[in-house]
Structure 1
C-alpha cells in the first residue's frame, strides 16, 4: 500500500468533514440543513475513497491488489474519522460549549412538533428526555469512542466492497515458449 494515498484521503476527508460540521454550527442547523449536509457528507465519504483508490491504481499502471485498495480506503477513512471526531469533541466541549444545548433544543422542538397531538404526553416526555440523554452521551469521550467503533465497522464494510470492485490484478500472458513438452 502506498501510504500517501491513504494519508491524503484521510486529510481530505477530515477537512471536508470539519468544514461541514462548522457550516452546521455557524448556520444553526435545522432539520433541512442537517439532512442536506448529511447527504453531502455521505456523498463525500463514498466518492473520495473511490477517487483516491483510482488514483493509486492509475499510478500503478492500472493494477491494484484487493489488499492495497482495501487498506487505502479503510486507513484513509479511519484517519479522517478520527480527526473529525477529535475536532468535534474539542469544539463541543471547549470552543463552543453552547453548541450542544442549541442542537438539543432544535431536536426537541422539531420532535415535539411532530409528536404533539399524536402521542400521549408521558411518551412524548420520555422520548424527548431520551433524545437529550443520548445526544449528550454522544459528545462525551466514551460516546465518541463508541461512535468511532461504529464508524470503523462501516468504513471496513465499505472498503471491503470498494476493494472488490476496484482491484485489478496483473494480466499474465503465457507464450508458446512457456509451455514445456515432455
Structure 2
C-alpha cells in the first residue's frame, strides 16, 4: 500500500510555489511602478491569486488522498501552505525593501499615509480637522509597516489572519466519504 503524504509534506511545494508567484507579482509591480505596491487594487489581485492557488493545490491534495479530506487535514494543509508562502514572501520583500531599494519603505509609507487621508475624506472626515500630532503619528505608523520590524510584526499578525483564512478554506476543501456513514 502506498503511503500518503502528511498535510505538512504536501503543503511544502504549494507553499513555495504560491510564495514565489506572490514575489513575482510584487517584483513586476515594483518594476512597472513602485506605487502599485501601496495600492488597494494590487492587494486585491494578490489576494485573489493567493486564494485561487490554495484552493487549486488543496483540491489536488484531496484527489491525491482519494478524493476525500477531513476538515482537520484541510485546515492543516491550508495553514501550513500559507505559512510557508508567507515566509517566502517575507524574505523576498525584505530583500526588496532593504537591499534592492532601501528608499522604497519611505515612499510606500508616504503613499499609504496619503491613501489613508483620501479614505478619510471619502467618509466625510476632513484631515485638516485632526491635530498635527495625530497626523504625524498616522504617518509614522504607515511608514513603520515597511520597516524590518514592521514587516516581522505584520507577519506575526498575519498568522492570525492565516488561521482564519485556513478555517474558511478548510470548509471549502473538506469532503467526506458518505459511503462510510452508517
Tell whether 2:42 aligns with 1:74: no
Q: CA deviation at 1:23?
A: 2.6
Correspondence for 1:13: 18
Q: Where in structure 2 are the equivalents of 1:2-151 lying within 5 Å?
A: 2-30=7-35, 34-108=39-113, 119=126, 121=128, 123=130, 125-126=132-133, 128-151=135-158
| C-alpha distance 31-171 of structure 1, shift in aligned 2 (>3 A) | closer
- Output the TM-score relative to the length of structure 2: 0.78
Aligned to 1:62, what secondary structure does the other structure show? Answer: coil
Q: Distance in 2 between matches of 1:37 and 1:14?
A: 16
Aligned to 1:61, what secondary structure does the other structure show? Answer: coil
Residue by residue over 1:102-160, the C-alpha shift from the partner in whole angstroms, topping out at 9 and shown as x without a partner, is 223434555667779x7364727445423431133223343223211221111111111
Q: Distance in 2 between matches of 1:142 and 1:66?
A: 34
Number of residue equivalences: 174
Residue by residue over 1:54-80, the C-alpha shift from the partner in whole angstroms, topping out at 9 and shown as x without a partner, is 101112221112222111111001111
- Output the TM-score relative to the length of structure 1: 0.78
In structure 2, stretches of 5+ residues that fail to align are 1-5
Bigger Rg over Cα? 1
Residue 12 of structure 2 contacts residue 81 of structure 2 at CA under 8 Å; is this kept in 1?
A: yes
